[in-house]
Chain A
Amino acid sequence: MSIPTVIIGGFLGSGKTTLLNSIFRQLDPEKSVALIINEFGDISIDGELVENGSYSKMEITGGCICCSLKDKLIEGIRGILVNEKPDLIYIEATGLAVPREMKREIEKYIPEDIVTVENILITVDSEQFNKCHGNLLIYDRQFEGSPKILLTKSDIYQEDLISSVRTSIGTIYDDIHHIDESCNPSGRFIDCVPEYFRLPGGAGEDTAQFTIDKEQFSDIDKIAGLCIQYSSKIIRMKAILTRGGIATVIQFDGKNLFQSEKGSEYKGESSKIIGFCPVTEKEKLQKIFDQ
């Protein structure tokens, strides 16, 4: 039986790693999964996930960006087929790769009855899309070949922004038919993994939301520090912290922390922290941030 394979692409900071972490949390522990990373260095896959089922990680690195990486991709897949015989293969593409070309290379050199590229999923950060699309060739090339699109950080960004990007993508690319968001319209983070993207064998949802509402937070730096301290337990978090009429917004996307001061659009609001985490961590994080 052919091994289902998914290529996950997206520019830097668009949420590929967060998506992968979410996928790995939900995988059936009985399934063996091979992850090929087309990028070096710390991938930030949660170490605990290694225990949650059988998963191996291979990095393909080095060589010229345009040519020898494709040889290494094919070599990597062949190696996995010989050594591991996984049930599933995920390939995380660097933001500089063109996922459609990766799919093409795989289909050219590996028989379809052995490996089938079932999906290309591109994570899209809406703010980044507005800056880069039409201005950066390599960014635009992510959308080639009818990929499925996941608009990430939809819990953080305004609904108008998400909508406008959804409309833009649908208008520019008439061959893209699947555009999903990382949160449902009510804002509740249900899953990073769109329905059509879940492969057979996925386990159920295990993500929860923690929320803290207060008039004011006295120590804003402490909140940022806690976010960093517990970053491995937090999938996403947004905090609007008001103090003395000034609102500080802290956003954590699973990997990076951003902090900024906001103006009049947050005037008068009380402070709020909304975070998403594994179910098992909810109670603990609720207490920690509600100190």
Chain B
Amino acid sequence: MKEMTGLERCQAVLDHKRPDRVPVVPQTFMFAAETAGFRIGDMNKNGKMMADSHIISQDKYGYDGCVIDIDDASLAEACGAKVIYSNPDEPALVDEHNPLVTDLRQFKEMKLPDPLKDGRLPAWLEGTERLISAIGDRVFVLGRSDQGPFSLLCLLRGTQNLMMELITEEPEVIWTALDWCRQAILLFARAQKDAGAHATSIGDSYAGPNLISPQMYRDFAWEHEVTLSRQVQDYGIPFSLHICGNTNDIIEDMVETGAKILEVDWQVDMKKASEIVAGRSVLMGNVDPSDPLVSGTPEAVELKAKGVIEATGGRDLFLSSGCAMGRHTPEANMRALIGAAEKYGTFK
């Protein structure tokens, strides 16, 4: 089989066709910054640096896809949230101690963000445009749309405040707030598509089983993910849903959102997930970004990656980290991840 480009590989998987080998799409925004010698605090308002970090990192390691991300605070900031930039080596954070929203009923009066003007979203989009222009003809570019509806609401209201309100507040009020958040994300997702991204993704980890039960996920978060998934994909771009943590109990629900790609973390049983998903979505994951990717050996990374490939049969899979890779991930471990795809995921 003729060797494919990274973009061709990923497109083949998305089209349910067989690639020449399993594509590797690691979640590298912090790792790429480190590789390029940038501090994330210096590049989080600079689209050119964002793009350059991925260009440099992808060129060095040769993986198949880049995930454009910068922190969990950008969309919330564009909505008006206060953000803390205390450490230039770390991603910016939303100040949840002083949340933008003190009453969920405020959403009725709030203006939706404009991704072409507000906060750092224009920089993200510039990053996508530049990356596409530089390597988008051969490398898959997943331009994230930051947080999912439930997670965005957590950041705007303060996560612990919202957790309490899930129990005490009127369901319609919560629904309206989540719907507003969904609309905000849709604007950004469409803008990512317009910027040229091959796919977009949202992280809805606050809706995951680390924080709320599967039933609460279904009661509050799921419907808005379904709507968003449909709207984004109707706009013409594959939609990826990222929920980290142990999502074994909600894999079926995640598939039912209609998301083309499901980003899953290291705790997920990939064999079972693969059986549940049954080709309806692409699974992206799931080597633990902490151990072995940061603290383990290259051999341990290779073994884990091999396990992921074998569990899924190498089908409908983007081999990746379970979540964002740490900036201190050793070079040898990154190479082991990519090498594993070549060694165990090549189709003759």
Contacts and interface: CB of A to CB of B under 8 A. Distances in A.
Listed residue (B95, B160, B208) with the most chain A CB atoms within 10 angstroms of its CB: B160
A40 B99 CA distance: 13
Nearest to B324: A64
Given A66-B244, A71-B290, A96 B265 contact: no
Contacts of B324: 63-64, 67-68
Interface stretch (B14-22, B50-58, B84-92): B84-92
B290 A68 contact: yes
A109 B296 CA distance: 12
Given A61-B87, A71-B290, A41 B160 contact: no
The DSSP consensus for interface residues of chain B is loop
A109 B265 CA distance: 21
Interface string A1-18: 000000000011100000
Interface string A60-81: 0111111110110000000000
B210 interface: yes
Interface in B88-139: 90-93, 95-98
A42 interface: yes
Interface residues of B, number: 43
Interface residues on A, range: 20 to 34
Interface stretch (B211-219, B299-307, B331-339): B211-219
A12 B133 CA distance: 46
Contact of A12 (B95, B161, B206, B326): B161
Interface string A134-159: 01111100000000000000000000
Contacts of B326: 68, 71
B47 interface: no
A131 B167 contact: yes
A95 interface: yes
B65 interface: no
B228 interface: no
B43 to A, nearest CB: 15
A137 B211 contact: yes
A289 to B, nearest CB: 28
Contact of A137 (B91, B160, B161, B209): B209
Contacts of A137: 209, 211-213, 216
B265 A135 contact: no
Contacts of A66: 205, 208, 210, 244-245, 265, 323
A109 to B, nearest CB: 7
Given A95-B160, A137-B216, A139-B163, A64 B205 contact: yes
A65 B167 contact: no
Nearest to B89: A62
Contacts of A11: 160, 163
A128 B324 CA distance: 33
A65 B159 CA distance: 11
B84 A41 contact: yes
A40 B95 CA distance: 8
A109 B289 contact: no
Contacts of B167: 131-132, 135-136
Interface string B155-181: 000111101101110000000000000
Nearest to A131: B167
Contacts of A12: 158, 160-161, 164
A109 B206 contact: no
B29 to A, nearest CB: 11
A136 B166 contact: yes
A170 B283 CA distance: 42
A132 B86 CA distance: 32
A41 B161 contact: no
B284 to A, nearest CB: 15
B322 interface: yes
B290 A67 contact: yes
Interface string B173-214: 000000000000000000000000000000001101111110
Contacts of A71: 290, 294, 326
B346 interface: no
Contact of A61 (B90, B161, B216): B90
26 contacts: A12-B164, A13-B160, A40-B97, A41-B95, A41-B96, A61-B90, A61-B93, A62-B87, A62-B90, A62-B91, A64-B72, A64-B205, A65-B205, A65-B206, A65-B210, A66-B210, A66-B323, A67-B244, A68-B289, A96-B159, A96-B211, A132-B163, A135-B167, A136-B216, A137-B212, A139-B163
Given A96-B160, A131-B167, 20 more contacts: A11-B160, A12-B160, A40-B84, A40-B97, A41-B98, A61-B84, A61-B93, A62-B87, A63-B90, A64-B244, A66-B244, A66-B245, A67-B265, A67-B288, A67-B322, A67-B323, A68-B289, A68-B326, A109-B295, A137-B216
Q: Which 4 A-B pairs have the closest CB atoms?
A: A12-B160, A41-B97, A62-B90, A66-B245
